[in-house]
Amino acid sequence: MSLPSFTIVTASLNSERTIAATLASVREQEYAGELEHVVVDGGSTDGTLEIVRAAGLRFVSEPDRGLTDALNKGIAMARGEIVGSLNSDDTYLPGALNRVGAAFAAHPRVEWVTGRCPIVDEHGNEIRRGVTRYKEAFLRHHSYARHLVHNYISAPATFARRSALQAVGGYDERFRLSADYDMWLKLGRRGDPVVLGPPPLATFRMVGESLSLTGFERQFAEHVANACEHGAGHPVAVALNRGASRAIVLAYRAMARVRGRT
């Protein structure tokens, strides 16, 4: 069975504290097929580029319009058949790419593959296990309608054929905080992914509160917009997304008020 070629795209900006571990997690994959790793840097002023140069990777460093712009640049740079996006503070787990490559080889018509992705803190310790278990419960029973209700697919653990990413027009720069959800829904309208079971494929690093209250509210407003745009024929799922997003934002506001009093 011939394994497909991979391009891993890492977007970075002043990431000297974390990017070395990200690069190492790709380098240590021991993938049996062709693998390239490209870095799209937004103009770092710290030691990020020195680390990237030392790793011998192909990269570009210039001001950009944010993460979605960087990811689209990475897709344009990619030579591999399969593209994965791994942010500069996330990591792949051992054997992940061989498992993903085998899934694409076994399912030549499938356009995307996804799997599990725990959340870790700055030291690599798993946190927010309840959130991960909640997402995994949905992921085990994935359907397009369920995905319209809530984004339970994790970007670091998701891979797509470059041809499919190009066919849907890349990442939509209108969505600064939910471009990944928009992308998965665009791919989902074309066909379901292969969902890989345990063990997980990657880790998502969260240091402190990754979003301000304003950012959190914008993210879920974008999620509703994503569901509305891609939810033709699924009015119940779209309505559930709207209600769930509102409930989550209200809960987050309440937690923020409690933290403010302590």
pLDDT digits (tens, 9 = 90+) for 11-41: 999 999 999 999 999 999 999 999 999 999 9
Mark residue 149 as left, alpha or beta (left: phi above 0; alpha: psi -120 to 50; beta: remaining): alpha
Average pLDDT of the chain to the nearest whole number: 94
In sequence order, the β-bridge partners of residue 41 are 12, 61
Pairing type for strands 194-195 and 112-114 reads parallel
Task: Note the CATH number of domain 6-208.
Answer: 3.90.550.10
Q: State the virtual CA torsion across 63, 66, 71, 72 in degrees, nearest 10.
A: -80
pLDDT computed for residue 104 by the predictor: 98
Q: Which of 156, 145, 134, 158 is nearest to 248 (CA)?
A: 134
pLDDT digits (tens, 9 = 90+) for 40-94: 999 999 999 999 999 999 999 999 999 999 999 999 999 999 999 999 999 999 9
